[in-house]
A and B are shown apart, each in its own frame.
Chain A
């Protein structure tokens, strides 16, 4: 237990950093970045089973005692995403799903219409739905109304490392959210993760910035520290921005020299 718990759907997670396992060059690197990041939940994708390889990512995650969050990456329609979630529930014995319905390969941006449709269907089927969504406050509201347990707006396109392109929209989503807002996608480096938390996000989900870094474990340590720092700064309350300077040394008592 912590005095600032991160709770999603009634489950307390020991870290506000959620790690995607995609992009790591080997299972050894996955294992190293999980250890270095201190994450409590990792995403996996669902793909066709090929003999000999199945189960290995599950083994790593279970050994590290992290919660498994299957995603519906690659799905283009609500039907594909719903069926993928059903298969993930069957294979992994979890009703949690990172719902992802993208429109095209070039942008990997969420298809809002299919996403909302899939979210409504999955909630009705008893799933615990964490949708990857656009940085659109109205869509975030609709996903919450549909019964999603979190909303996960992108900072910028998946794997782009462009950071948070519309911080104002993230603040708008946070301001009216009744569920945790988790910044998902676009993180390039530690400062992006800190900014997400300073904007009021409850957590950060990232993969490529760590798994494709030159030194993945070192970057995992860096983004974990940034998430903690950003959260502390958010709770501490930043000073308002000013147009002009405001002296921090006394303005009275100046000698005439």
Chain B
């Protein structure tokens, strides 16, 4: 299936979970939204991504 992750196209196996997509992310300080809706970390494991979805992964950076 094709997804958009942080604005970039990504090809992933069908039925990939959000937890799988985010497994390289640090254990804290990161949040994710799918099609604009925030998905709490506790739901990442059960959250199955579907073709065409847009995932945004955010973290804190320097900012005023």
The closest CB in chain B to the CB of A59 belongs to B29
Best-buried of B41, B58, B64 by chain A (most CB within 10 Å): B64
Complex A-B: 27 CB contacts under 8 Å: A21-B63, A30-B62, A43-B64, A44-B62, A45-B60, A46-B59, A47-B59, A47-B61, A48-B56, A49-B6, A49-B59, A55-B29, A57-B62, A58-B29, A68-B60, A70-B60, A73-B64, A83-B36, A83-B38, A86-B33, A87-B31, A87-B33, A91-B28, A92-B29, A92-B60, A158-B64, A185-B64
B10 → chain A, closest Cβ, in Å?
13
Cross-chain contact of B30 among A30, A49, A57, A84 (Cβ < 8 A): A49
New A-B contacts (16) at CB < 8 Å, excluding given A51-B24, A58-B60: A22-B62, A22-B64, A24-B62, A44-B63, A48-B58, A49-B6, A49-B57, A57-B60, A88-B31, A90-B41, A91-B30, A91-B59, A91-B60, A92-B29, A185-B64, A207-B64
Write the nearest CB–CB distance from B53 to chain A, whole angstroms: 15
Q: Closest CB of chain B to A34's CB: distance in Å? A: 12
Interface centre among A30, A49, A86, A87 (most CB of B within 10 A): A49
Chain B CB within 10 A, most for which of A43, A48, A92: A48
For residue A23, CB closer than 8 A to chain B, the reply is yes
- Interface positions, chain B 17-64, Cβ under 8 Å from A, are 24-26, 28-33, 36, 38, 40-41, 56-64
Which of B6, B24, B40, B58 is A46 in contact with, Cβ under 8 Å?
B58
Which B residues are closer than 8 A to A by beta carbons?
6-7, 24-26, 28-33, 36, 38, 40-41, 56-64
- Specify which of A44, A87, A208 is in contact with B61 (CB 8 Å cutoff): A44
Q: Is the CB of B64 within 8 A of A23?
A: yes
Query: Any chain B CB within 8 A of the CB of A133?
Result: no
Residues of chain A within 8 A of B28, CB atoms compared: 55, 58, 91
Separation of A132 and B52 alpha carbons in the complex (Å): 36
Asked whether, in the complex, the Cβ of A43 is within 8 Å of the Cβ of B63, the reply is: yes
Q: Which chain A residues numbered 173 to 230 have a C-beta less than 8 Å away from chain B?
A: 185, 207-208
- Write out the residue numbers on chain A whose beta carbons fall within 8 Å of the beta carbon of B61: 44-47, 53, 57
Min CB distance, A57 to chain B, in Å? Answer: 5
Distance (whole angstroms) from the CB of A39 to the closest CB of chain B: 13
Contact among A20, A23, A43, A91 with B58 in the assembled complex (CB-CB below 8 Å) = A91
Annotate A3-25 by CB proximity to B: 1 below 8 A, 0 otherwise.
00000000000000000111110
Measured in the bound complex, the distance between the Cα atoms of B63 and A88 in whole Å is 13
B64 touches A47 (CB 8 A): no
Pairwise interchain contact B30-A71, C-beta atoms closer than 8 A: no
